[in-house]
Amino acid sequence: MHVKVIPNVDAIRFGDRYSGELRLTDHHIIFIHPVTNQNSATPPPNTPKYRESYIAYPIISHCIFRPCPSISGRPSSIRIRGRDFSLINFLFLNETTAREAFDYIRTRTCRLGSIEKLYAFSYQPLKTEKPFNGWHLYDPRAEFRRQGISTKSVDRGWRVSLINKDYNFSPTYPGLLVVPSKISDNVIKYAGPYRSRARIPVLSYLHSLNNCSITRSSQPLVGFRGNRSIQDEKLVGACFSASATVEFNGLEAPTLDTAEPSPSSSQFDIRGSSLEGEATDTERLEDELNTGIEGNDDSQTGKRIYGAQQHNLIVDARPTINALAMQVVGKGSENMEYYPFAKKAYLNIDNIHVMRESLNTVIEAIKDGDISKLPPNRELLIKSNWLKHIRGVLDGSALIARQVGINHSHVLIHCSDGWDRTSQLSALSQLMLDPFYRTIDGFIILVEKDWLSFGHMFQQRSGPLGHEKWFIVERDAMAGSAMQPGESDGRAGEAFENAIAGARRFFHRSRNQDSSGDTDGDGPGSPPDENSQAKRSSEAPPVTETTRPNEISPVFHQFLDATWQLLRQHPTRFEFNERFLRRLLYHLYAGQYGTFLYNCEKQRIDARVHERTRSVWDYFLSRKPEFLNPDYDATVDDRQSGRERLLFPKLTDVRWWAQCFGRSDSEMNEYLDQAAAYEQRIGSYTLTPTESPSKNGSRSPQPPSSPKPPSLPTSRSVVTTTETIHDALTPGRENSMILKHSSSADTPGAFAINLVKLRDGVTGLDLSRGLFGGSEKGDHTKTPSRLRIQGEQEMADMPTHQAHQSFQHEREVESTPPKDPLDHSMASFGTG
């Protein structure tokens, strides 16, 4: 192993400066510095203790080199931002040495040429990890047997199909599929072409108490012509009727009309919290679903019998307008006229491009953590809408869990290709339904099943091979300009040029784009980035391994964040602790294990990762005591508050996962606490603007509306932004009404807004005709509406800003260095 040693290097983090030695290896940056204890009264020993900090190259998301000539009297610097929210600034005495270090880091981050050159393929496990084999933890047959599906047990309406055992039917699906017993492989074969990438509806979870199911798929290929598939309709119908084949022999559901309905605490908190004067939009949807429906009750006991059917639901995770826009490329959403046995709900969860920009805005808010101890920029935190997105995913997942666990109905989930938002909703709803998934072993199986096995594209979403555009040489420093830490990483003179370039790309895409703006960025129609490594490196990786920045998105990060929200709100219901989730996020990017390096089960088998790499679960299982929750209570008793089988989120209590972002809870959430306290103070006596006069002439106040956290200024629930609930679930509604009430239609993309403002600003100069196509008189007045629609559909993947500076991640303060030097990056700076 080649090691490049650079002495006399300073490192800055959170404004603190450390002097030490920098070592650059084939797979890590190692910073070694002496440990000093300023609070100790005893003199330091003659032989000082040293601490090592490791930074894995794949964790780097941004690296800025600022060369300074020796005559300037300032050190050259390399500023690194990690995708685990760590941030550090290295200072060098010699410009040449700094440049060599920068080139070394860049070469080993984004010029490897192949995933097989990552550390995972040469990593040798510690002795504590060798007894474990995380690759064998998930056995799909065993997991579905746990759910009650087995050839040796009673037929619960489902069977195992091997139609995809060689991955020819659907390359991105698992080799073993669970489908309705009454559906033959021949029907499945003909149903496949009707779903994007042949990702047909298959079982993900069967609720053992009532035999209701969660199935998942991709979008149907409806198109403008309104295509339909009899086989697909038959398959979905069979999924929704499977529980009718089972006799429950008098098994009864817990009574739902008691003083404390199950799950009492979470359900009561959502509906009865003083912070929420109205029912949430998802709850109103459920009210509509249940209105006028008589449950199947036992005539003798009056209790509801498990297996009683209410309303089956097809959940489309996308905004309505985006789903409709997919018809342009021959895709779309189900025509419910052909699925009369179910209702449909759009959850209005934005696509990967919106989520990426949301996280980039968070990065802008906390980016100066290496040079400053100042708190994050609260305006940018609010502007990011990150909490709104987390709340939306939780809201949709809770709807699914209630439909299955309380309303005894089946749910089919899909988005576009069925591997991003679908995985989030499926996994989180199961986490709410099944206590097994709240254990460490169960959570591992959940990730293996609903994320890895079902083909979430980890390689494309995380980009382990890096990208050249993430490495920047800040040449202004060479010109002698007085650039101070914390100033913009980009040259101000490039701002207008970048804007013009972005507009040019936009109009070019609007003419030539062969896929809709709501694609998850993972389809064949997504072109490689113009500055991709394939054009810059002579040793280019295969196209499937090339990092495409416009396809990177924090989808799995959002799932972990939402899981943390549930853990914080239900601290005794999870076996694992917060650090377990944080370390899992780190290893998503670190490249030390083979688990998250590929996009689907087939790719992992072809690469033989089971033989050539270690599983990330070896790391967690060999250190299991570190990740146990001391408050965990495994007891499940629906009669006791806090011990119910089902749990649900309190949407008004969604907060920043501060430890994940390397900040304290007070820094990230103080404004939320202040807003909640303020609402509580004024809520009891403040009148709303809407008042109606009573008969005696006085004005009677209306109930106050539910307060919104500052991070969710005027956001509506992810479910009901389509239209009124009754209209949303009524087949045959006019598309114009759907467009009118869709959040996507109401809220144009940021780029479209800026274009409209620019057009308005130059109208007086008569310059807008050529730029906006308003050659005819009055034509420019129609342009903004067109841009609003195009901005939502096509501009989602165009960044409105670049996060040029790094942000930090405070992982855990440890009094002693980690025994495993690869266990924690940035260990000497209080991480863990």
**Residues tagged active-site:** 415
C-alpha–C-alpha distance, residues 339 and 222, integer Å: 13
Give the CB-side neighbour count of residue 594, counting CA atoms within 13 A: 26
Instruction: State the Cα–Cα distance between residues 292 and 283, nearest whole angstrom.
Output: 16
The reply to whether 148 sits in an annotated binding site is no
C-alpha 192 chain-centroid distance: 28
Tally of CB atoms within 10 A around 130: 12
Q: 511: annotated binding-site residue?
A: no
Q: Write the DSSP string, 737-787.
A: HHHHH-HHHHS--HHHHHHHHHHHHHGGGT-HHHHHT--STTGGGGHHHHH
How many other CB atoms are there within 10 angstroms of residue 778's CB atom? 7
One-character DSSP codes across 637-674: -TTSTT--S-----GGG----TTTTTS-HHHHHHHHHH
352 is in an annotated binding site: yes
DSSP secondary structure, 705-721, as one string: PPP--TTSSSPPPTTTT
Chain center to CA of 475: 35
Single-letter residue type at 598 = Y
> Is 417 assigned to a binding site?
yes
Backbone angles phi, psi at 58, to 5 degrees: -65, -15
Known binding residue 489? Answer is no
Q: Determine contact, residues 716/708, Cβ cutoff 8 Å.
A: no
The strand order across the sheet containing 342-346 reads: 202-206, 213-216, 411-414, 312-316, 342-346
Task: For residue 820, count CB atoms less than 10 angstroms from its CB and return exposed for 0-12, middle for 13-18, buried for 19 or more.
Answer: middle
| 416 labelled binding-site residue | yes
CA-based nearest residue to 328, from 488, 518, 133: 518
> Is residue 760 annotated as involved in ligand binding?
no
Structure tokens at 552: 């990177």
Torsion over CA: 180, 202, 143, 206 (sign) = negative
Residue 248: CB atoms within 10 A of its CB come to 15
Contact between 158 and 242 (Cβ < 8 Å): yes
d(CA 304, CA 145): 27
Beta bridge pairs of residue 103: none
Concatenating the DSSP letter of every residue in 134-185 gives: GGGS--HHHHHHHTT--TTS---SEEEE-TTTTS-S-TTS-SSEEEETT--H
| Amino acid at residue number 648 | F
- 452/286 Cα distance (integer angstroms): 31
The answer to whether the annotation marks 418 as part of a ligand binding site is yes
Give CA angle at 381 (379, 382), nearest 5°.
65
b/e sequence 568-593, b meaning 16+ C-beta within 10 Å: bbbbebbbbbbbbbbbbbbbbbbbbb
**Which residue ranges are tagged as binding site?**
351-352, 415-421
Q: Which residues are annotated as a binding site for substrate?
A: 351-352, 415-421
